[in-house]
């Protein structure tokens, strides 16, 4: 059985005081214990948020990491640094990092391997642009991203990997992929995993949809067979909305 996972990606939002307020407001509600709830917060807020969620079931995530443990990489954060704080998850290869910061599939692969080595569960983001979808290349693009991200990774790690299908045209635009389109692509990704590994891996890998997910769209998405969760930007910044997403 795959445990559903709803992760909030706060992106570059919330100074520490705002983060603590948001967590306090989330804590006023009860969250469905059968759903894994994760908050992926800016680096500077990780430590304080970790303390604030102590005693709850909420998990902590980072939004990026370097693959090396230490070294001359000015401005970067290493897996050891994240591990010390107690980070459970790390978003890797978000389209905003690929688009604005030049992250390549090769870098994504190194980061995924390093995260797994350090017991940090990677949330690996893949997804096509509008142009790619309009020229019917979405499956080709997503397949390449998935296979490159997982290159050289053993089957035993599959249970710790989450793949987030986030079509770039649906991020922050208010345009959600239809639940059927999202389900179809998540199913396609599951097939890729099945072909690369085996049926067990195919059945175990958790696949999220992301892109303008809101409280009024989550139920329909989560009802789909292939969708195991959501990676949520905007709506995760509002306590009531995040709670509604987790309690879909």
Q: Which residues contact 131 (CB under 8 A, 6 or more apart)?
A: none
For position 9 contacting ligand 13P by CB under 6 A, the verdict is yes
Please say if 166 is a catalytic residue: yes
* CB atoms closer than 10 angstroms to residue 235: 20
Tokens of 157: 């790690």
Question: What is the rounded distance in angstroms from the CA atom of residue 69 to the CA atom of residue 167?
Answer: 31
Q: How many residues bind ligand 13P (CB under 6 A)?
A: 14
Q: Identify the CA nearest to 185 among candidates 137, 246, 152.
A: 137
Letters for 128-167 (x = contact with ligand 13P by CB under 6 A, - = none) are --------------------------------------x-
For position 62 contacting ligand 13P by CB under 6 A, the verdict is no
Q: Which of 109, 113, 234, 243 binds ligand 13P (CB under 6 A)?
A: 234
Q: Which of 31, 109, 233, 248 binds ligand 13P (CB under 6 A)?
A: 233
Q: How far is the CB of 168 from ligand 13P (least distance, A)?
A: 9
Please say if 34 is a catalytic residue: no
Say if residues 207 and 226 touch (Cβ distance below 8 Å). yes
Rg (CA), the chain: 17
Chain residues binding ligand 13P by CB under 6 A are 9, 94, 166, 171-172, 210-213, 231-235
* Catalytic residue set: 94, 166
């Amino acid at each position: 059985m795959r445990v559903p996972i709803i992760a909030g990606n706060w992106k570059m939002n919330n100074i520490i005081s705002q983060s603590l307020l948001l967590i306090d407001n989330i804590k006023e509600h009860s969250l469905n214990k059968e759903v894994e709830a994760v908050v992926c917060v800016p680096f500077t807020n990780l430590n304080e948020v970790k303390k604030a969620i102590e005693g709850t079931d909420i998990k902590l995530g980072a939004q990026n990491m370097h693959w090396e443990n230490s070294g001359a990489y000015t401005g970067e954060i290493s897996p050891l640094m994240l591990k010390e704080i107690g980070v459970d998850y790390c978003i890797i290869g978000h389209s905003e990092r690929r688009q604005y910061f030049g992250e390549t599939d090769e870098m994504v692969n190194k980061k995924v391997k390093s995260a797994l080595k350090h017991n940090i569960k990677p949330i690996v983001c893949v997804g096509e642009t509008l142009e790619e979808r309009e020229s019917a290349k979405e499956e080709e693009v997503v397949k390449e991203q998935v296979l490159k991200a997982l290159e050289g990774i053993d089957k035993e790690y599959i249970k710790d990997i989450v793949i987030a299908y986030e079509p770039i045209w649906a991020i922050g635009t208010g345009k959600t992929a239809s639940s059927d389109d999202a389900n179809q692509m998540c199913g396609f990704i599951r097939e890729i995993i099945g072909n690369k590994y085996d049926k067990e891996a195919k059945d175990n890998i958790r696949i999220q949809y992301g892109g303008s997910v809101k409280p009024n769209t989550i139920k329909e998405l989560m009802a789909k067979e292939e969708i195991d969760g959501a990676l949520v930007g905007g709506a995760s910044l509002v306590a009531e909305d995040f709670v509604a997403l987790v309690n879909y």
